[in-house]
Structure 1
Amino acid sequence: MSQPPPLGGPNATHTPAQIRRNRLIFLAVVLVLAGMVTFSALGPYDTEDQSATLKAGDCFQNVGTDKAAKTKKLDCADPHADYKVLKMVENAVVDTLACSDVPGTTGSLTRSGSGKWFVVCFEDNDEKGEK
């Protein structure tokens, strides 16, 4: 009875071509994993909340949720600019009180940014373009 060929181990010999191929495969796997980590960390989208930069007349889109809104400042003609800022009230905590005297207000959001509180009073944007 003959013996089976040896499996890969400490005595296995690999040709230089096999070693190069294995190194290239390893490098490709590392690059793909690094790309996936970078993409998930940076992403193709901007998720930073821009509420603190809004002022009266600016338009924005909520890129978050209704309970955890994140604003993205846009041109008012942009088809995704759903809301228009009517008033930015600094050092305010209660949005219903801060926006109660602002005519046309359909919504508001309260934020704490850079150690200060502010409220954004807004309405639906009638200037946005068609999709």
Structure 2
Amino acid sequence: MTTPPPPQDASGAPEQHPAAPAPEAAAKPKSGKGRKFLNVVVLIVVAVVVKLGISYFFNAPVRAEAGDCVKVTGSDNSPEVETKGCEDKDANYKVLKVVENTFDTNACDVGEAALAQQWESEKFVLCLDLVKK
């Protein structure tokens, strides 16, 4: 018994069969510990970004303009300022003027309350007067 010759194409050359695809490298199973560690690191980074972002936006000093009314609470060393409508019952000061590029609270006239503020590289003083109710 003889082996039949390989099939030939129309030109008489042996027919070429496409090579079988090379077996793909076996995928490495991911380590459960490494994946958990990566997840924890990502969660910590997200938590820090959220904390700093919220603090950055919500603790920014009020950028009030002359004529605006504000509510000032907190201590002298750590005042908290929130803009309010002048008709709002919580508004306790009216901004008389804003002095730019200074922390000098003496820039306000005698009898006016002064509140120095800083936001990034900006610094300014709010000159305030009590709201008459």
With normalisation by structure 1, the TM-score equals: 0.49
- Whichever of the two has the greater Rg, that structure is 2
RCO higher in 1 or 2 (8 Å CA, sep ≥ 6)?
1
With normalisation by structure 2, the TM-score equals: 0.49
